[in-house]
Structure 1
Amino acid sequence: MEFKDYYQTLGVDKSASPDEVKKAYRKLARKYHPDVSKEANADTRMKEVNEAYAVLSDPEKRVAYDQLGSGYRAGQEFQPPPDWDAGFEFSGADAGDASDFFANLFGHVGRGKHARSYQMRGEDHHAKILIDLADAYHGMVRPLTLQAAQIDARGQVVTKERTLNVKIPKGVKEGQHIRLSGQGGPGVGGAAPGDLYLEVHFKPNPRYRVEGRDVYEKTPVAPWEAAIGATIEVPTPGGKVQVTVPAGSQSGRKLRLKGRGIPGDPPGDFYLVLDVVLPPATSERGRQIYETMAREMAFDPRREMGS
């Protein structure tokens, strides 16, 4: 079954108001009505125009058509979803004139006062949410403001803003989805609304790098702390920790803190990546200390490079 673009048939935009839809219909009816038209295909075109108007002039049918037809173009192969349940009366096109497309969407259950009311579950919506890495460690409730296009009672497309308080679960990972039941698109005919799925991403932070549940933090240490060893205090998303820097450490060495990554079952690990930072020789005393080191330590960092 081919998808019919009713907006294209009437020559209107998808955001067209009911008045614009009616105006376009009347213009085409004057052009193709068999009693007055001299067009060779007037009868066929008039049936198409009637059918398009029967859908787009009815707010409930229009919402159903928009939800089912999102992503389709005229002429593409189309099949209603298996759980599709419709029971509209024909309007502007009787059973003989309606296309298979129209009949499958709006008339295959029944007609008249015994027809079942049309229902369709709302669409699921998807969005991204940026959180702090600390939120994944402790869990948090964060406000989230969303803008969504909706069709009002007059059939017009409007943008509405809403704010939700989102519970960030402890242990959430990058790329994980948080499902908010019933916060997606509204249902039609009393059907349940869709769900909202939030894809979690961590806010960029130059201090941390995250891989799954493992977290890496670049940790500056003084030359003497790296050379002779030291116990240092390091802030992490889970709180401050005391860490022993082994003597003889170099920049790039990783110190693993087991189980101190993002919580989970099992939790990730936290890695301190050491970065030896030299103090500046901006004072006379500082220069003297560096000169003494140069004389007495006889250290050549390029010795292994050869000639």
Structure 2
Amino acid sequence: MEFKDYYQILGIDRATAIPDIKKAYRKLARKYHPDISKEPDAALRMQEINEAKAVLTDPEKRAAYDQLGEHYRAGQEFRPPPDWDAGFEFSGRNYEDVDLGEFSDFFTDLFSHVGRRSSRSHHHMRGLDRHAKVFIDLRDAYDGATRAVTLHAPQTDPQGNVYLQQHNLQVRIPKGITEGQHIRLVGQGHPGAGGGESGDLYLEIHFTPNPDYRVEGKDVFATLLVAPWEAALGTSLTMPTPSGHVQLKVPKGSQSGRKLRLKGRGIPSSEPGDLYFVLNVVLPPANTEKARQLYESMARDIPFNPRQKR
């Protein structure tokens, strides 16, 4: 999939205010609307123009897209990073009336989930709910914590320029929360009209990437590096976990890929997940004369062919 430069499509620069974006759109629409245009690619061009307008005239979509677009050029091979929209507040405004089938895969991959995280209906005076994706440490899910969270809420000034308003929060992370769950902050959404109650803010939880752990639901996985003699003969090791150190027994005759399960040591809950250590047998390098002699001795004295079917 290729990256789309919506500013280039409309022939404007990144500093263009929303009223001028709409003017540029109307000018191009008069030229490429399929009902009146004689251009051979009018339908495709009109689709691109409509798509660009849908993003750049919506302050929320535009703010997140601008941050993403700093690192890509039009036509560049593109896959959206999983956290590209983290830290931005989104509402449901102007999202439900978008027919995603009219737009490209690029638009759908970026925006199909934005503003569609809540199906609640509200009284017409109540403010809109807002949604944001945030990252926490895995340790916070084990212990619970209160963390400072900074979000950015797109706003529009009287001239139609989009700017980001910083939103600082102290958020209580409940023990046992899993990836994809939401924390609801009552009254932290859009203000209600005419004195109506404010909407709520929903924080969608994701775990900060950690080189030591991988999470699947409530289960946590870690790689355990062992020497060949530890795997062959067995050993006991003291290993760190998100909830403290544990004594781990490696059974003799273990192979790479073997999983050592610690029941109930995953993310805590009424039915806690498990913690798995996945063995990876690491060979020492034959970079000294003594090491080479030992490997040569093993090759002579141990009848072993790893490619032989057992």
TM-score by length of 2: 0.59
1:225 and 2:230 correspond: yes
Q: Secondary structure at the match of 1:165?
A: strand
Q: Secondary structure at the match of 2:297?
A: helix
1:163 and 2:203 correspond: no
**CA spacing shift, 1:156–1:238, aligned 2, 3 Å:** same
Aligned partner letter, 1:303:
Q
* Structure 1: runs of 5 or more not aligned: 1-12, 17-66, 74-80, 85-119
In the other structure, the counterpart of 1:299 is 304
In the other structure, the counterpart of 1:174 is 179
Task: Give the distance between the partners of 1:228 and 1:292, measured in 2 at CA.
Answer: 18
Q: Secondary structure at the match of 2:127?
A: coil
Question: Residue deviations 1:114-148, cap 9 Å, x none?
Answer: xxxxxx22110001011111111111222211222
Residue correspondence of structure 1 range 92-131 to structure 2 within 5 A: 120-131=125-136
Question: Residue deviations 1:21-67, cap 9 Å, x none?
Answer: xxxxxxxxxxxxxxxxxxxxxxxxxxxxxxxxxxxxxxxxxxxxxx9
Q: Secondary structure at the match of 2:231?
A: helix
- Which one of the candidate residues 70, 82, 88 is aligned to 2:94? 70
- Which one of the candidate residues 289, 294, 297 is aligned to 1:289? 294
Question: Residue deviations 1:154-180, cap 9 Å, x none?
Answer: 999764212111111111101000111
Q: Secondary structure at the match of 2:296?
A: helix
Task: Give the distance between the partners of 2:237 and 2:93, measured in 1 at CA.
Answer: 61
Q: Secondary structure at the match of 1:189?
A: helix
TM-score by length of 1: 0.59
Q: Secondary structure at the match of 1:304?
A: coil
Task: Give the distance between the partners of 1:226 and 1:68, measured in 2 at CA.
Answer: 54
Task: Give the distance between the partners of 2:204 and 2:291, measured in 1 at CA.
Answer: 51
How big is the shift at 1:211?
A: 1.3
How big is the shift at 1:190?
A: 2.0
In the other structure, the counterpart of 2:266 is 261
Aligned partner letter, 2:286:
A
Aligned partner letter, 1:182:
G
1:252 and 2:252 correspond: no
Q: Count residues with an aligned counterpart.
A: 203
Larger Rg: 1
Q: Secondary structure at the match of 2:193?
A: coil
Q: Secondary structure at the match of 2:147?
A: strand
Aligned residues: CA RMSD: 3.0
Q: Secondary structure at the match of 1:303?
A: coil
Aligned partner letter, 1:83:
H
- Which one of the candidate residues 208, 212, 220 is aligned to 1:207? 212
Task: Give the distance between the partners of 1:236 and 1:186, measured in 2 at CA.
Answer: 43
Task: Give the distance between the partners of 1:68 and 1:212, measured in 2 at CA.
Answer: 27
Q: Secondary structure at the match of 1:163?
A: strand
Give the percent of matched residue pairs that are identical in Structure 1 and Structure 2. 57
Task: Give the distance between the partners of 1:183 and 1:161, measured in 2 at CA.
Answer: 13
Q: Structure 1 stretch 253-262 or stretch 127-136: which is displaced more?
A: 127-136
